[in-house]
Structure 1
Amino acid sequence: MNLTERQKAILKAVVEEFTRTAQPIGSKSLIPLLPIPVSSATIRNELAILEKEGLIEKTHSSSGRVPSLKGYRYYVENLMELSLDPMIQDSLRTVFSKRHCSLEDTISTSCDILAQMTHLTSMVFEPRQSEQRLVSLSLIPINEHQAVAVVVTSSGQTQHRLFQFEEGVSIEDLKSCTQMLNEKLAGTKVDELIEQMEKIRPEISAHVSRHEVLFEAFISACMGFASERSKVYGRANMLVQPEFADPGKLEDLMRTLEDRQLFKKWALKPDNVSTKIDERNQLIQIGDCSVICTRFDTGAQEEGQLMVVGPSRMPYSKVIALMDYLSEQIEETFATRLEGGQDDE
Structure 2
Amino acid sequence: MSLDDRKLEVLRAIVEDYVATQEPVGSKSLVERHQLGVSPATVRNDMAVLEEEGYIRQPHTSAGRVPTDAGYRLFVDRLSRVKALSPAERRAIERFLVGAVDLDDVVHRTVRLLAQLTRQVAVVQYPSLARSSVRHLELVPISTTRLMLVMIADTGRVEQRLVELPGVTATDDVLDMRRKINAKLNGEKLSDTPPLVQALVDECDPEKRTTMACVASVLLETLVERSEERLALAGTANLTRGGVLDFQGTLRPVLEALEEEVILLKLIGEVEPSTTRVRIGDENEIDNLRAASVVSTGYGPGTTIVGGLGVLGPTRMDYPGTIATVRAVARYVGDLLAQN
Q: CA RMSD in A?
A: 4.4
* Alpha-carbon shift at residue 279 of structure 1 (Å): 5.5
Q: Name the structure 1 match of 2:48.
A: 48
Task: For 1:47 and 1:316, locate their aligned partners in 2 and report how far apart those are by CA, in whole Å.
Answer: 21
- Tell me if 1:259 matches 2:292: no
Identity of aligned residues (%): 22
Q: Is the alpha carbon distance of 1:156 and 1:267 closer, same or farther for their aligned partners in structure 2, counting shifts above 3 Å?
A: closer
- Tell me if 1:160 matches 2:159: yes
Please say if residues 132 and 306 of structure 2, whose CA atoms lie closer than 8 Å, have aligned partners that are also in contact: no
* Alpha-carbon shift at residue 305 of structure 1 (Å): 2.2
Amino acid at match of 2:241: V
* Alpha-carbon shift at residue 72 of structure 1 (Å): 0.7
* Alpha-carbon shift at residue 308 of structure 1 (Å): 1.8
Please say if residues 173 and 211 of structure 1, whose CA atoms lie closer than 8 Å, have aligned partners that are also in contact: no
Task: For 2:76 and 2:141, locate their aligned partners in 1 and report how far apart those are by CA, in whole Å.
Answer: 50
Please say if residues 129 and 223 of structure 2, whose CA atoms lie closer than 8 Å, have aligned partners that are also in contact: no
Q: Is the alpha carbon distance of 1:26 and 1:163 closer, same or farther for their aligned partners in structure 2, counting shifts above 3 Å?
A: farther
Runs of 5+ unmatched residues, structure 1:
269-275, 338-345
* Alpha-carbon shift at residue 220 of structure 1 (Å): 5.3
* Alpha-carbon shift at residue 210 of structure 1 (Å): 10
Please say if residues 177 and 211 of structure 1, whose CA atoms lie closer than 8 Å, have aligned partners that are also in contact: no
Q: Name the structure 2 match of 1:283.
A: 278
* Alpha-carbon shift at residue 312 of structure 1 (Å): 1.2
Q: Is the alpha carbon distance of 1:267 and 1:109 closer, same or farther for their aligned partners in structure 2, counting shifts above 3 Å?
A: closer
Q: Name the structure 2 match of 1:181.
A: 178
Aligned residues: 322
Runs of 5+ unmatched residues, structure 2:
285-289
Amino acid at match of 1:282: R
Q: Is the alpha carbon distance of 1:135 and 1:29 closer, same or farther for their aligned partners in structure 2, counting shifts above 3 Å?
A: same
Q: What is the TM-score when the length of structure 1 is the normalising length? A: 0.72
Q: Name the structure 1 match of 2:70.
A: 70
Q: Is the alpha carbon distance of 1:60 and 1:248 closer, same or farther for their aligned partners in structure 2, counting shifts above 3 Å?
A: closer
Q: Is the alpha carbon distance of 1:61 and 1:137 closer, same or farther for their aligned partners in structure 2, counting shifts above 3 Å?
A: farther
- Tell me if 1:88 matches 2:89: yes
Q: Is the alpha carbon distance of 1:335 and 1:26 closer, same or farther for their aligned partners in structure 2, counting shifts above 3 Å?
A: same
Match of 1:310 among 297, 310, 313: 313
Q: Name the structure 2 match of 1:335.
A: 338
Q: What is the TM-score when the length of structure 2 is the normalising length? A: 0.73
Task: For 1:249 and 1:211, locate their aligned partners in 2 and report how far apart those are by CA, in whole Å.
Answer: 56
Match of 1:325 among 311, 325, 328: 328
Task: For 1:64 and 1:181, locate their aligned partners in 2 and report how far apart those are by CA, in whole Å.
Answer: 70
- Tell me if 1:124 matches 2:124: yes
Instruction: Describe how 1:14-29 pairs up with structure 2 within 5 A.
Output: 14-29=14-29
* Alpha-carbon shift at residue 56 of structure 1 (Å): 0.8
Superposed CA offset, 1:102-140 (max 9, x none): 455434433321122112122234444455124132559
Task: For 2:338 and 2:257, locate their aligned partners in 1 and report how far apart those are by CA, in whole Å.
Answer: 33
Superposed CA offset, 1:213-258 (max 9, x none): 988876654457x547341422332233513335886333333333
